Amino acid sequence: MNVVILAAGMGKRMQSDLPKVLHALAGKPLLSHVIDTARSLSPSRICVIYGHGGDAVPSRLAADDLRFVIQQPQLGTGHAVMQAVPELSDDEPTLVLYGDVPLTSAATLTSLAEQAGSDKLAVLTVNLADPTGYGRIVRENARIVRIVEQKDASAAERSINEVNTGILIAPTKALKAWLSSLSNDNAQQEYYLTDIIAMAVRDGVPVESAQPAYVWETLGVNSKVQLAELERIHQRNIADALLEQGVTLADPARLDVRGTLVCGRDVEIDVGCVFEGRVELADGVKVGAHCVIRNATVLQRAAIKPFCHIDEATVGAESQIGPYARLRPGTVLGGDVHIGNFVEVKNGSFGAHSKANHLAYVGDATVGSRVNIGAGTITCNYDGANKHRTIIEDDAFIGSDSQLVAPVTVGKGATLGAGTTLTKDAPAGALTVSRARQVSIAGWQRPVKQKKQD
């Protein structure tokens, strides 16, 4: 099929300079959700009609399988689809979607396409308790004969609860003919795509309908309030799916997945956690409250304690992270590694059973197995122009408040005394100390604060 996505609207109620369809839902633009759903249908072509915001939409979402066509000026939904006509193959039906309606499922669209077949027009409709603002589906003898917009509807027509979602599929050759016959003789002086329904009836083309499994599949975004409402609906759907898979969520209403979250068995997630990009949590992983994890892999039975930030990192099996730890891009931790409170690791690797339990910065470093890094230790990896690497070999012990000035190597089994500033390699198996000699001065008097004179 051909797919046309209407994404030219300004979205005045969003109160933003950003085009409405680029506002994010679950971490990606509204329009991206619609495009991804369209792609799942394996269409021959996807044509995106853009307008407000200039080239912001095509420049943000450009892809080889997308064709972008500008609508300028914006004269209604029918006028928008007219802009796509040169891109549409007559041999396939055309599905019309909306860039601000992000949650329509592929299953619903497949059902709609099945109703249309190759020679019928099919409209996605929904029944609403309060249909105010929507175009009403007018039927005669149960058959759809036309759609009337709210401002053009009579009192009787306004009492109809079945409404038009705007989503439809039609035989393309007929669609092009109907589009060329559209008129803007209406209250809005716009070319309504919905007017093609009456044209189809006039031409003897059957008009069918389908309905979604859930009303929220048809909800659009016209304000930040509606965006927030859809965000919670979407996140609750994700949470329910995770619960069905066996994941334990302390509170399904306090979870945000802004990408893909893949969980093994017996995973536990506490409140307020945010998952971005692709995150994989293996069997038995526990994630404490208020963690932010992005593009990361956490292996079996690792424990992420509260308030940790993990970004493009791998956490080994049985490891313990946090609380208040930060793993930055390029971090790879082996099994049973402990990264404690207020420890930051960047572009570094830790071998199995190594520990940095508190108040340390380990950047651009290769840390072996069974290494202990004391509190206050930092790797001085940046000389003001270039980054340099620190190597700490197996079984080394780094005393508290040490500075390792890269490039430097701590040999296997070496010990650095507390307070050491290491500027040369520390030999294996030896104690290396670099500190001023301790001096005690007998009889020294601490200064006394002088009294202010009147």
Which sequence positions are flagged as catalytic?
358
Contacts with 412 (C-beta within 8 Å, 6 or more apart), sequence order: 368, 393, 394, 395, 396, 428, 429
C-alpha distances in angstroms, 204 versus 121, 136, 141?
11, 21, 15
> Where does residue 42 rank: exposed (0-12), middle (13-18), buried (19+ CB within 10 A)?
exposed
Q: Are 415 and 393 in contact (CB under 8 A)?
A: no
At which residue do the structure tokens 């963690």 appear?
291
Q: Which residues of 205-236 are buried (b: 16+ CB within 10 A; e: fewer)?
A: bebbbbbbeeebbbbbbbeeeebeebbebbbe
Q: Are 146 and 121 in contact (CB under 8 A)?
A: no
At which residue do the structure tokens 């309060």 appear?
130
Ramachandran bin of 221, using left for φ above 0, alpha for ψ from -120 to 50, beta for the remaining angles: beta
What is the distance between the alpha carbons of residues 7 and 376, in angstroms, rounded to a whole number?
53
**SS3 assignment, position 202:** helix
* Angle of CA points 320, 323, 329, to nearest 5°: 75
Dump the DSSP string for 59-90: HHH--TTEEEEE-SS---HHHHHHTTGGG--T
Q: Where are the beta strands (DSSP E) in 174-254?
A: 207-210, 248-249
At which residue do the structure tokens 């797919």 appear?
3
Q: Residue 370: what residue type?
A: R
